Structure 1
Amino acid sequence: MTTLAESKTEMTEMLLPNETNNLGRALGGTVLHWMDICAAISSMRFAGNQCVTASMDHVDFVSPIDLGEVAVIESYVFNTGTTSIDVKVDVHAEDPRNDERRLATSSFFTFVAVDDDGRPTEVPDLECPTAAEEALRQEAIEDRRDQLEDIIERLEAAD
């Protein structure tokens, strides 16, 4: 058994000119790349095996990351199946000159643990031994449910 805390991962990236659009803001693909890497590290720490991305849920970019700002990418495992691992990823934009920090985007990834031959392999059960870990887990489950319900409403409104 592995704990949620053991899967926690934080990465930081400074947004440089090659990763920006013509407005000096982070390219969406760059942010998604960072999210995928951070989530993969959480998955591998949790499973003790190589893990591959199976899916990524809907992503809304709610705030830009501007040239020269720092992107803080945080992830943790919040649910598991037999071979699958669900990971929550949050990205914050941080201005290192004044310590301002804001949410840029958030999403949920699913990974599959694989053995040395690339075949799916079982993952340990997720343990949340502290109240803080259980609260994070419940928050992620509720956030994912809310996000999926919002997508359904958007699709129904488009009909």
Structure 2
Amino acid sequence: MNRIFKTVASSDISISQLMLPSHSNFSGKIHGGFVLSLLDQIAFACASKFSGNYCVTASVDTVNFLNPIEVGELVTMKASVNYVGSSSMIVGIKVEAENIRTAQIKHCNSSYFTMVAKDSDGNKAAVPGLILSNSNDLRRFLNCVKQIALKKEKDLHEEIFDYTSKEAINSLTKYNVKLEF
């Protein structure tokens, strides 16, 4: 079998959009839900470009809102495939907002989406291997490997943790909760 490999750079994609008043929430900042919609769109475009297939969102692994985005700012999202499995890819996305008047740029969001490639019948499709061309590509790939391991550990912990044990119930005293069942 002749396996295909592609560079991280071959997946690079960016989109820019001016933030309008219709994108804002009640406090006048850009609504997080609107940003999430844009993140999903660029994750789809990035994964589809890299894999050559239609892709679906399997999970939104991390969404860190770091700074608010203001109406009138130019938002640029930059995405790349950071990790590949057999049919899945982790897409990293960086969101920056530029004040058009001052040219000041701020980092507003970092996100990671797991996308799965699908063939024309809707079945999982194999994705190309990933060529890591520099230390930044390697760092991002290994960070994804660590995140996957942490996610598996968390899932395993949730499967075996007894939420009804006396120990679990007693541990709640340090929290601002009250049991009434």
Matches within 5 A, 1:4-153: 4-138=8-142, 140-141=143-144, 144=147
Q: How far apart are the structure 1 equivalents of 2:144 and 2:130?
A: 14
TM (normalized to structure 1)? 0.84
Rounded Cα–Cα distance in structure 2 between residues aligned with 1:130 and 1:90: 19
SS of match in other structure, 1:59:
strand
Unmatched 5+ residue regions in structure 2?
Answer: 155-173, 177-181
Amino acid at match of 1:49: N
Moved over 4 A (4+): 142-145
Paired residues of 2:16 and 2:74 also in contact (CA < 8 A)? yes
> Aligned partners of 1:12, 1:83: CA distance in 2, in Å?
28
Structure exhibiting the larger radius of gyration computed from Cα positions: 2
Percent sequence identity over aligned pairs: 32
Structure 1 vs Structure 2 CA RMSD? 2.6
Residues 75/100 of structure 1: CA separation in 2 closer, same or farther (3 Å cut) = same
Deviation at 1:131, TM superposition (A): 4.3
User: 1:103 offset after TM fit, Å?
Assistant: 1.3
* Partner Cα distance (1:133, 1:59) in 2: 20
Provide the C-alpha distance between the structure 2 equivalents of 1:107 and 1:158, rounded to a whole number of angstroms. Answer: 29
TM-score normalized by the length of structure 2 = 0.74
How far does residue 144 in structure 1 lie from its aligned partner after superposition?
5.0
Aligned equivalents of 1:126, 1:23: Cα separation in 2: 42
Residue type of the alignment partner of 1:89? I
Gaps of 5+ in 1: 152-156
